[in-house]
């Protein structure tokens, strides 16, 4: 395989990873190609490398999360970082400590990386301006979920064999569902557009505001007409409570209009890729039978998520020389 040193860049020249918007195409590709390297590592028998030995990572989750947090935890551990978790239910946040005070506490403890999830959009940006540690955004409000955008880009390019070429030219990607309230949608759109894909958003107008046209995407309210054109179908999770705000009349009607049903699945292209960031509402966005189809890469996305997050830690750390890393890996393998 290609070594990381083959690329023009060997590290991200930035302190934080906050959103896709601020990343260059080159940076996105650097992360994706580095992720390939790490995926190769941990899909073998020895899963850990000592790249972040002596560094500490704190996951700071102000909003419940299972998969994203687990994925970051695993990524940090596989890089041999010291990992601490700070979650709302067990922390002083319930005592009313402000974000800025919590963060100053963490800084005083000399944490190197803060992985942050927060219900308020732009919270990681606010944090990053007030702390020396690297801030990695694990999802903020409706704003951004950059590691998801990166892992989705990686997953598509890996599946299509276009990781080397590093482009999504010629691909038509549909993102279906609640676009308005989705940080995944925003980060996916930004990444896919930067990589050259054609993107169409599909859902009811209440959940797909016209403002999204600023991204240079198309908007459709008719999934049946759109479906046969799509190379990639990315389904988003419907938050059931949105119905109360009259954004759609019922889950039944949503399913009728926008779910990837078995019947619709049969009208998709043969080489279609079906994705979902999880957790899935079976029977609402996607039918059971479609979940288990070989075209559905939902579990592969989860695997890739760990690799992408390892790559991000590694690249933010300054990207250690590869030969050294390979040697250390070799010695680890030998010692086992």
Partner 1 sequence: MKIVIKNGRVIDPASRTDDTLDILIEDDSIADISRGISVRDGYGVIDAGGCLVLPGLIDMHVHFREPGREDVETIYSGSKVAAKGGFTSVCTMPNTDPVIDNQALVRFIKLEAEKGPINVFPAATITKGMKGEEISEMGELIGAGAVGFTDDGLPVMSSILMRRALEYSRMFDVPIITHSEDLELTDDGIMNEGKNSMLLGLKGIPREAEEVMIARDVILTRLAGGRLHVAHVSSGGSVEIIRRAKSDGIRVTCETAPHYFSLTDDAVAEYLSMAKMKPPLRTENDRKAIIEGLKRGIIDVIASDHAPHSPNEKMQELEYAPFGIVGLETTVPLIITVLVKENGFSYFEAFEKVTINPARVLKIERGELKIGSIADVTIIDPEKKVRIDESFMLSKCKNSPFMGKELSGSVEYTICNGNVVYSNK
Please report, as ranges, the residues that interact with partner 1 according to CB under 8 A: 21, 98-100, 118-123, 125-126, 130, 140-144, 183, 186, 209, 211-212, 214
Report which DSSP code applies to 13: -
| Cβ proximity to partner 1, 131 vs 272, nearer residue | 131
Q: How far is the CB of 119 from partner 1 (least distance, A)?
A: 8
**Tokens at 141, concatenated:** 């409000």
Please enumerate in sequence order all residues whose Cβ is within 8 A of that of 203, keeping only pairs 6 or more positions apart, or say none: 176, 177, 178, 179, 221, 258
Q: How far is the CB of 299 from partner 1 (least distance, A)?
A: 27
What is the three-class DSSP state of 17?
strand
∠ CA 179-182-183, rounded to 5°: 130
Q: How far is the CB of 239 from partner 1 (least distance, A)?
A: 14
**Tokens at 297, concatenated:** 């890469």
Q: How many CB atoms lie within 10 A of CB 271?
A: 10
Q: How far is the CB of 224 from partner 1 (least distance, A)?
A: 26
What is the rounded radius of gyration, in angstroms, for the C-alpha atoms of the chain?
A: 20
Q: For the chain, how many helices (H) and strands (E)?
A: 12, 9
| Cβ proximity to partner 1, 125 vs 172, nearer residue | 125
Is there a contact between 287 and 265 (Cβ–Cβ < 8 Å)?
Answer: yes
H or E element in which residue 290 lies? helix 288-291
Question: Phi and psi for 8 in degrees, rounded to 5?
Answer: -65, -35
CA-to-CA separations, 14 to 44, 86, 101, in angstroms, rounded: 30, 24, 24
| Cβ proximity to partner 1, 56 vs 137, nearer residue | 137
267 class by beta-carbon count within 10 Å (0-12 exposed, 13-18 middle, 19+ buried): exposed
| Cβ proximity to partner 1, 87 vs 121, nearer residue | 121
| Cβ proximity to partner 1, 184 vs 298, nearer residue | 184
| Cβ proximity to partner 1, 186 vs 255, nearer residue | 186
Q: How far is the CB of 327 from partner 1 (least distance, A)?
A: 43
| Cβ proximity to partner 1, 96 vs 161, nearer residue | 96
Q: How far is the CB of 229 from partner 1 (least distance, A)?
A: 25
Q: Which residues pair with 282 in a beta bridge?
A: 286
């Amino acid at each position: 395989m290609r070594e990381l040193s083959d690329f023009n860049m060997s590290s991200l020249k930035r302190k934080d990873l906050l959103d896709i918007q601020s990343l260059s195409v080159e940076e996105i590709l650097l992360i994706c190609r580095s992720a390939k390297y790490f995926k190769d590592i941990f899909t073998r028998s020895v899963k850990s490398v000592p790249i972040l030995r002596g560094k500490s990572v704190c996951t700071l989750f102000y909003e419940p999360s299972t998969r994203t947090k687990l994925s970051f935890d695993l990524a940090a551990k596989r890089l041999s970082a010291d990992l601490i978790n700070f979650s709302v239910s067990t922390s002083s946040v319930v005592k009313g400590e402000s974000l800025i005070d919590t963060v100053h506490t963490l800084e005083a403890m000399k944490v190197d990386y803060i992985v942050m999830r927060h219900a308020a959009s732009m919270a990681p940006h606010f944090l990053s301006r007030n702390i020396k540690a690297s801030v990695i955004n694990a999802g903020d409000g409706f704003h951004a979920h950059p590691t998801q955008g990166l892992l989705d880009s990686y997953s598509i390019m890996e599946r299509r064999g276009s990781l080397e070429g590093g482009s999504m030219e010629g691909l038509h990607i549909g993102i279906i569902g609640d676009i308005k309230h989705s940080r995944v949608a925003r980060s996916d759109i930004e990444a896919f557009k930067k990589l050259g894909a054609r993107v169409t958003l599909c859902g009811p107008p209440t959940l797909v505001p016209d403002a999204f046209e600023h991204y240079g995407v198309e908007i459709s309210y008719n999934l049946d007409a759109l479906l046969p054109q799509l190379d990639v179908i990315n389904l988003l999770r419907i938050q059931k409570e949105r119905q109360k705000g009259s954004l759609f009349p019922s889950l039944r009607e949503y399913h009728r209009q926008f779910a990837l049903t078995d019947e619709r699945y049969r009208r998709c292209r043969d080489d279609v890729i079906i994705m979902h960031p999880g957790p899935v509402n079976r029977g609402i966005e996607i039918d059971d039978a479609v979940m288990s189809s070989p075209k559905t890469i939902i579990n592969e996305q989860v695997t890739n998520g760990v690799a992408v997050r390892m790559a991000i830690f590694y690249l933010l750390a300054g990207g250690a020389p590869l030969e050294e890393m390979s040697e250390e890996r070799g010695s680890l393998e030998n010692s086992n």
